[in-house]
Amino acid sequence: MSAMAAPYAAMVMDARNGEVIHSENADTRLHPASLTKMMTLYIVFEAVQNGEISMDTAVRISQKAAAEPPSKLGLRAGSTIQLRYLVRAAAIKSANDAATALAEAISGSEAAFARRMNRTAKALGMSRTTFKNAHGLTESGHLSSARDMTILGRHLLYDYPQFYNLFQRRSTDAGIKAVSNTNRRFLDSYQGADGIKTGYTRAAGFNLVASAERGSERIIVTVFGGNSTASRNAQVAKLMDLGFNKAPSRMALRTPRKPPYLGPDTSAPAETVIARSQTPSTNTRAKSIRVVAAAVKTSLRPTARPVAEPVLPDALVAELKQDIQSVLEEVQTAEVREIAATSAQVAIAAPASNAAVEAVIAEQKTAPSASVKPVVRPRTLVLASAKTPQAAPTQPVVKREAEVVTRISTSGGRHWGINVGRFSSRHAAEKALLTTALAEMATLDGSLRKVVNGARGFDANFMGLTRDAADLACRRLQARQVTCFMIGPS
């Protein structure tokens, strides 16, 4: 299969910092073909990460999606399939029916999804791109450029590294059948190649956005308008070599700025929902309810209900004051009697008259607010504590042997961990850990997310697991096509 006289464009970029190494007609607006699916998948990854939809969501296939022309997975109208299988089919086989089904699952219709694609393209800085559909089949005004598709490929790599490994699979299970990668020839022939996406239509020619990593270097190459699969792959390989030859071996990683999450498209017109009575009469008309599809940005906290201060009756207040005054007088009288009793005991060594005690009590009754002056202790009174204590008998000191304290582990054998990938930046590793933890809460709950900076990158690890828990977590993640291996106590 070959394309006749499709316009040629190319770009070579150092993925680490976004520096352009080579470009030719890079800003010319051309037909992107199935490179469009890169944006479709980018938005799906965004929606999954932000909780709009799950990889396990069952998607019902519409008549429109089932009727898309090849390349296609062969979906039937009315059937259901998990979102993850649609993602695999769109990324690996470049299935048009899967791409349309993804668009409808995220935005309700392909037209609404196209609006979100254009909004996202603008946020990414893709100034020469306009999307009309989710699959990339030729449509008037559906155009992009080599520069814009290179930018998109770089964002796919760094914004959603937890999903990027999907593009390097040679084949995968797409639910209803296994599918092969349309880019497998280049992946097998070029050292270090690990993605990203092919595209072909008669109007576009043979397109490819490819990425390869060798050591600490990573290059992204985009080619539009190849004459055949073989000639396009040869040109991409030539430009890859150019990029690796010109790129410095050491380069500070400056990942692209990820655009802020804006949620579902809020510019869509209001949806009309027809509500019908369960027992309609011939004279009853259906009611049209306008529902505006908009994301809730903030939730207002309700104002607390004002509560009046309790008001006590004047009689009750007066009674309470009288009770308090009575209690105070009783307490003060008791204190005076206690002091008088103490003074009487002291009088054993130096007698004091009872009249003095009565005088003290009378004085306290007449002036309850005045403090009582303590009686001076007689000099002849000797306190027991003033006596010279006898020396205690000396006891021999018993020398104790040193005790050895052993630290008892409280981890319950949680010395195992798992690794879910190695990434080019700490930020990418942390995002992968968070996404994996949310997807696999059943087995990873209570584990410690840890990013280890090694010579070859940043390892994303979950630590603090038992051996059985680590083994179960890895088996469940591998079943979801997530790379995982166990880390032992050593």
The residue type at 333: T
Whose CA is closest to 273, among 287, 284, 283? 287
Identify any residues that bridge with 461 across adjacent strands, giving them in sequence order: 419, 450
- Alpha helices, DSSP H only, in 108-206? 110-124, 146-159, 161-164, 184-189
- Listing DSSP states for 350-411 in one string gives S---HHHHHHHHHHHHH-TTSPPPPPPPPTT---GGGSPPPPPPP-PPPPPPPPPPPPPP-S
Angstrom distance (rounded) from CA 132 to CA 231: 29
Contact 252, 14 (CB under 8 A): no
Annotation says 94 is catalytic: yes
Residue of 62, 71, 94, 424 marked catalytic: 94
At residue 264, φ and ψ (nearest 5 deg) are -60, 160
Angstrom distance (rounded) from CA 165 to CA 156: 11
Compute CA distances 271 → 267, 289, 291, whole Å. 12, 9, 5
Tell me whether the omega of the peptide bond preceding residue 43 falls within 30 degrees of 0, making it cis. no
Angstrom distance (rounded) from CA 450 to CA 417: 10
Angstrom distance (rounded) from CA 328 to CA 354: 26
Residue of 37, 93, 132, 431 marked catalytic: 37
Q: Give the active site residues.
A: 34, 37, 94
